Structure 1
Amino acid sequence: MKVGKQGRHRRFMLLALAGILMTLYAVPAQEAAAAPSGIGTHARASALIDVESGRLLYSSNGDTSMRIASLTKIMTAIVAIEHGHLSDTVKVSKRAVGKEGSSIYLKLGEEMSLSNMLYGLMLRSGNDAATAIAEHVGGSEEGFVYLMNQKAQELGLVNSHFMNPHGLDEEGHYSSANDLAKLTAYALKNKAFAEIVGTKQKSAPNPHEKWDYRWHNKNKMLSMYEGADGVKTGYTKKALRCLVSSATRNGQKLAAVTINDGDDWADHRRLLDWGFRHYPLRAIVNKGDNIAGYPYAVGQHFYYPLEDSEAGSIHTALHLIDPLTTAYALGERGSLVISLGDRKLGSVPVYEQGSIRLKLQERTDRSNIR
């Protein structure tokens, strides 16, 4: 079918815009995949997500808003990291010292770096640390809660609303298993957050004693599950036992969420095992792959978690861009759009075979491996 010059130009421009807006792995959390085999938990609500792609692999009652106890602190930590400076000095107020529940036993007027305060928050679930952090970063606890809800809206957490930074039971304070999975996947991509939640033990200066603070992580998954690297425990009398855990195997990171679960450690082992077994991360295209019938090559790897029966439903489509665009002048020739059935997963840039951009990208990719 022939296309007129103006129509062809308009099509090129639209494709160019799409190519610029779509980046590797820039994929919103997808609906939970159909379970390939039976899996369940003892939780009132649960979810399992592939962190890199954002694909929900499993969800049960996942969109129901519920009390989440100290899983709240996942949001507290990422907001503090993004809005504060880890080297900041946080001064402890009377309001923070008097906070009920779990504590790292801060004293009135005590000063501690925001970095160490975050370790106390996430390893020992200090409600005093949560309040001190909120007051420092947000100017007040109320100001910080505004930032938490703003972040929830930005991430599309439609079944979440925060009233405090610590998770003590309060009307209007809630989230859902699916929202927590999405939030955790986002937070784990932050290097500082991932380092904190994956730490088993942390020492920090104690200005009141001759010995340092020494905090042991409450998250037993770090010691009882191979590859475990986070995230947070939680409990209140109304929320009951809550847990978010993450683990990495064979280059794939998964995060599991359970809310109100009396057997959470066992359930998380089973959920993570199930996810790694049934939805391994697969290379859909590899950087440098030639595109049949064109003098072009794929510019980046693209990985996605797929169940065996889904492999045959992957489709790719080459979208060329207008030679008059800036992207074209910089070496890009289009994008390879990748879909699973009729659902678009993402895209990778396409360059001419032998392009220097392929070599430059190789160096960039290597520099990101730690």
Structure 2
Amino acid sequence: MIKWKRNTIIKPVACFLLLCLSLFIFPTKFTYAENPPSVAADSVVLLDATTGEVLYSKNMNTAYPPASTTKVMTALLTLENCDLDEIVTIPKSAVGIEGSKIWILENEQITVKNLLLALMLESANDCAVALAIHIGGSEEAFVKMMNDKAKELGLKNTNFENPHGLYNTKHKTSAYDLAQIMKEAVKYPMFIEISKTRGTQIPGTTQVPEGHPLWNKNKLVSAGEFYYKYIEAGKTGYTIQSQHSYVASAQKDGQRLIVALVHDEVKNFFNDAINLFDYGFENFKLEKIYSAGETITTYDDDGISMPLLAMDDVYMVLDKDSSAKPELTLADIDKNTVYITGDMVTTGTLRIGDSTVDVTLLAGKEYFPPTVEVKSTNIDRTYAIDTESQTSSQYPVYPFVITILIIILLIIITRIIQIKKKAQKKNIFWN
């Protein structure tokens, strides 16, 4: 006589189905580093360079003297205002300046590119002054250009007094502002090329036939203990009064992050920068939500039916495992205005979790208002975005999978009942 044990069949099947259902109904949330690393500097920020979103901060708007990280602004203005092959005749006022230098001499003739190399690799104060005078006509005029650029970038906690960063009580910036300057500088491929140079030699001149050897002080670039393979650019800074500062950019899988650490007493900035970069890359992803010209939503209200298109590519920084759908909040739309395809219609805010991004929306087709005058209505509504065009990898189709699993479950239960009935007819006992 054969005995069928109900638990032998039912328990494994039930456990398997419950496991499958739990994976799809309650997706597993993979956790990375729960908390960001501790850092020594007093003003710190980690931000995404594409969106500007802050991923970690510590007193990021508190201003401190930045020392030689100032030179990132000097380099930025040089790239904006000079050809790299321009010849700079070294002025007397640049010779013998205190602090780090490469000992350039009066009337030496050196190209802008070689002065930039010395500025970024050796942190040469004498080269900073030479570039400032070459570009601005005087050091004072160049400093005004630095502060004007800071205002243009929207920096609220920055004031420059010199092009090199030697200590001055009024010469200050915050980690957030410093990161914004680096974010602007790395838009120039030459800035990255120069910053990643491990070592080079400025060719000899009449005054210095042997030339000037240069070695990069950014240890994340140099082979050794702190080498970081994703590094793009970085600048150190130190004076006794200013303490240590560091700002750097790194890129991995198309995502660029900026770290700024200002006023570090214990000189732990290389380790802290690496840990912050790793935290950012492991926990967050840069997602392209919409391409320029793609339909974000269709506005349909009081006679208006119009596709609204993204004016630019839309990126958001999301948690690494996020698959949430975006929501859109629209600003007002003037329904009495004629819209031609491509005209700006309104603005909006996309939200996924805690991440938001502002978007400008264009008309996807022509719209002509009705002949009867209709007053403009302010609209502030939240729309769930139609994501049919989004890839299934971004937004898994859970209902379909759940339906299939339920059907499988019903088939198995039906089969078990049939087996039980047959067993009863043959006097096979179930325990």
TM-score between both structures, scaled by the size of structure 2: 0.66
Residue 252 of structure 2 corresponds to residue 249 of structure 1: yes
In the other structure, the counterpart of 2:76 is 78
* Rounded Cα–Cα distance in structure 1 between residues aligned with 2:92 and 2:277: 41
For 2:334 and 2:114, the matched residues in 1 are separated by: 49
Correspondence for 1:27:
none
Q: Does the residue aligned with 1:280 lie in a helix, a strand or coil? A: strand
Partner of 2:220: 221
Q: Letter of the 2:316 partner, please give it.
A: Y
Instruction: State the 1:339 CA deviation.
Output: 2.3
- The structural deviation recorded for 1:90 is 1.4
Tell whether 2:230 aligns with 1:230. no
How far has the Cα of 1:245 moved from its partner? Answer: 1.4
**After the TM superposition, which residues 103-122 of structure 1 pair with which residues of structure 2 at under 5 Å, given as runs?**
103-122=101-120
Is contact 2:316–2:355 with CA below 8 Å preserved after alignment?
no
> Runs of 5+ in structure 2 lacking a partner?
1-32, 299-305, 366-431
Aligned 8 A contact 2:204 2:211 in 1: yes
Alignment counterpart, residue 274 of structure 1, candidates 270, 273, 279: 279
Moved more, 160-169 or 201-210: 201-210
Helix, strand or coil at the partner of 1:222: coil
1:38, CA displacement in angstroms? 3.8
Alpha-carbon deviation of 1:56? 1.6
Letter paired with 2:150: A
Structure 1 residues 296 and 242 mapped into 2: Cα distance closer, same or farther (>3 Å)? closer
Cα distance in structure 2, aligned partners of 1:148 and 1:291: 39
Using the TM superposition, name which of 35-44 and 179-188 deviates more.
35-44
**Alignment partners' CA distance in 2, 1:141 and 1:345:** 40
The answer to whether 1:169 aligns with 2:167 is: yes
SS in 1 for 2:243: coil
Change (3 A) 1:202 1:304: farther
Paired with 1:157 and 1:313, the residues of 2 have a C-alpha distance of: 33
Change (3 A) 1:321 1:311: farther
- Separation of aligned partners in 2, 1:46 and 1:297: 37
Match of residue 195 from structure 2: 197
For 2:170, give the aligned amino acid. G
Q: Determine what percentage of the aligned residue pairs are the same residue.
A: 35
- Measure how far apart 1:89 and its partner are: 1.9
- Match 2:357 to one of 340, 345, 351: 345
Tell me the CA shift for residue 82 of structure 1.
Answer: 1.9
Q: How many pairs does the alignment contain?
A: 316
Residues 270-323 of structure 1: per-residue CA shift (max 9 Å, x gap): 000001112211122245755565667656532221225876484235787887
Q: Deviations over 1:103-134 (max 9, x none)?
A: 12211111112222111111110000001111
SS at match of 1:59: strand
Residues 214 and 334 of structure 1: is their aligned pair in 2 closer, same or farther, counting only changes over 3 Å?
farther
- Larger CA deviation: 234-243 vs 118-127: 234-243
The match for 1:87 is 85
Q: Secondary structure at the match of 1:137?
A: helix
Q: In 2, distance between residues paired with 1:61 and 1:298?
A: 35
In the alignment, is the contact (CA less than 8 A) between 1:50 and 1:185 conserved in 2?
no
Match of 1:56 in 2: 54
Aligned equivalents of 2:313, 2:326: Cα separation in 1: 15
Q: Computing the radius of gyration over CA atoms, which structure comes out larger, 1 or 2? A: 2
TM normalised by structure 1 equals: 0.76
Match status 1:127 vs 2:130: no
Report the 3-state secondary structure (helix = DSSP H, G, I; strand = E; otherwise coil) of the residue aligned with 1:39. Answer: coil
CA distance in structure 2 between the aligned counterparts of 1:247 and 1:148, rounded to whole angstroms:
24
Over 3 Å counting, the alpha-carbon distance change for 1:295 and 1:258 in structure 2 is: closer
> What letter is aligned with 1:190?
Y
Deviates more, 1:263-272 or 1:195-204: 195-204
Aligned residue type for 2:130: A
Query: SS of the counterpart of 1:269?
Result: helix
1:153 pairs with one of 151, 154, 160: 151
1:74–1:184 CA contact under 8 A, matched in 2: yes
- CA gap 1:149/1:335 in 2 versus in 1, 3 angstroms: same
Is residue 302–residue 348 contact of structure 1 (8 Å, CA) maintained in 2? Answer: no
Structure 1 or 2: more helix by fraction:
1
CA 311–86 in structure 1, closer or farther in 2 if over 3 Å, else same:
same
Q: Report the CA distance shift for 1:295/1:44 in structure 2 as closer, same or farther (over 3 A).
A: closer
User: Partner letter of residue 285 of structure 1?
Assistant: Y
**1:356 aligns to what?**
none
Residues 97 and 332 of structure 1, relative CA distance in 2, 3 Å threshold: same
CA pair 174-190 structure 1, distance change in 2 beyond 3 A: same
